[in-house]
Every structure is written in structure tokens, then in C-alpha cells.
Amino acid sequence: DLCAELASSHPLEGGYYQWARMAFGDQVGYLTAWWTWLGIFATNATFIVMFNQYLGYWVHLSFWPQFLISLSLIWTTTYLNIKGIKLVGVSSAWMTLLFLLPFLVLVVLGLYHWQGNPFIPFSHPEKSTLTAFGEAMMVGVWLYSGYDKITVSAEEVENPSRNFPRAFAIAVPIVAARYFLPT
């Protein structure tokens, strides 16, 4: 990942904003920061919409209850961010464990009830192998995006040239297993 490489060699607070500014000047640095902020804003809004869509599948709610749930999620995460990085770190660790628990249960149940070869058919029978590969690549890019976000605070990491590559070497196989095993 380019951001991991840059965080290792140029550990600056602000990450890609600082790197774009160093390479191309203040205007490009500003635009990079602005577009990144908009992208994060849109992505986070998408997660809340997805949460409500999944919730709506299980519990049929009208517009206002769904709106209030969305608003409470937004304000809860805003409150956590205002309270500081330590609370965000602790709550993120607990939420990660909470979110991974159902996947762990599915993996254990899946292994217990395993029948047949999971690679047959290799791709969707109604799609060409090339189409299936292209769609899998798009899903893969989505699933593995986001690692650049941790590089924004690279200046706060002890020995980033050593620790970023180590962290990615540990995290990427775990994430790959987390996506592969449940399916």
C-alpha cells in the first residue's frame, strides 16, 4: 500500500494531505484534504444507511424510528470522537469483538456442517469467468480499502518505518481469513 510506504518513510501528522502538499504544493494539499474529508463523510453516511437497511430487513420500522436510530448512531459516534482518542480506541476494540463474534459462530457452524467442495462451481454459473473475476476484484478493492486512514496519525507511531510494515503483515492475513472463512 502506497500510504503505508509513505507513512514509513515520511511519518507526518495529516498523512496524505501532507504528502500531497509536499509533492504538489498548498493548493493540491488543500484539495486532497477536502476530497478526503468528503469521501469519509459520504462513506460514513453510507454505513448508517446500510445499517438501517439491514435493520429494516429484520425489524420493519417506519421512517421516523429509522431516522431516530440513524440520528442516535451519528450523535453517539460524534460524542465518542469529542471525548478523545482513548475512548474511541477502547470502544472500537470492543465493537470489533462484538461484530466479529457472529462471524466466528458462522465459521464454527460452517466447518461443523461442511459438505462438498466450496470451490465448485468456481464462479457463478450464469456469468462468465471474466465477469465473475471483475466483480470479485471490485469487492476485494472495497474490502481492503481503508488502510490509508491509519497513516494520518503516522507521526504519533513509535518507529513507523518498522511498525507500519509489521502491523500490515499481521493485519492483512487476519482480514483475509475474516473474509474468506465465513464464505
Task: Judge whether 129 and 123 are in contact, CB under 8 Å.
Answer: yes
Reading the block at residue 120, the C-alpha cell is 465448485
Helix, strand, or coil (residue 134): helix
- Give pLDDT tens digits for 126-142: 889 899 889 988 888 88
Mean pLDDT for the chain?
86
Reading the block at residue 9, the C-alpha cell is 518513510
- Give pLDDT tens digits for 32-77: 999 988 988 888 888 888 888 888 888 988 889 988 998 898 899 8
User: Which residues are registered as beta bridge partners of 13?
Assistant: 153
- Could you tell me what percent of the chain has a pLDDT over 70? 99
- Check residue 118 and report its DSSP letter: T
